[in-house]
Amino acid sequence: MYTIDTNILIYHANGDPRVSAFLLSACEKDTPLILPTIAVVEFFSFPAMTPRVKEIFEVLLPYFRITDLDYPLSLAAAQLRRNSRLKLGDSIIAATALATHSYLVTRNVRDFKRIVGLKIIRL
């Protein structure tokens, strides 16, 4: 099971072959892909958002389990943010990965590596 960081969506939309191959493989294997709602917000705030980029996202949408930010997850994210000085979005994404016992798939290892118990895959 994988929690997908926003930057992975952006790299995929930009045609990064390694990221695209990873996502395609996960979809073909029916591997659960978790997408925090904050990643959706961040992705659609991406300055280079075009109809084509939106279409690329929507092709993957059926494969994602989009997770809402509920109260327990909010508290976990707040604690991570306080203790690790993460940005708000990163703290929610990390808390989601921890709560779902999934691997966080990201290129942003530097900010996440200080979180105890977080399993990270760098693409």
Q: Is the dihedral of CA 10, 21, 89, 64 positive or negative?
A: positive
Q: What is the pLDDT of residue 46?
A: 81
State the Cα–Cα distance between residues 106 and 7, nearest whole angstrom.
7
Question: Does 93 score more than 80 pLDDT?
Answer: yes
Identity (one letter) of the amino acid at 112?
F
What is the reported pTM?
0.92
User: What CATH number should be reported for the domain holding residue 70?
Assistant: 3.40.50.1010
Question: Does 68 score more than 90 pLDDT?
Answer: yes
Q: What is the pLDDT of residue 55?
A: 86
Domain limits for position 99: 2-122
* Tens-place pLDDT, residues 9-56: 999 988 999 999 999 999 999 999 999 999 999 998 888 778 888 888
Count: domains in the chain: 1
Q: What is the pLDDT of residue 4?
A: 98
Say how far residue 109 (Cα) sits from the centre of its chain. Answer: 12
pLDDT, mean over the chain:
94
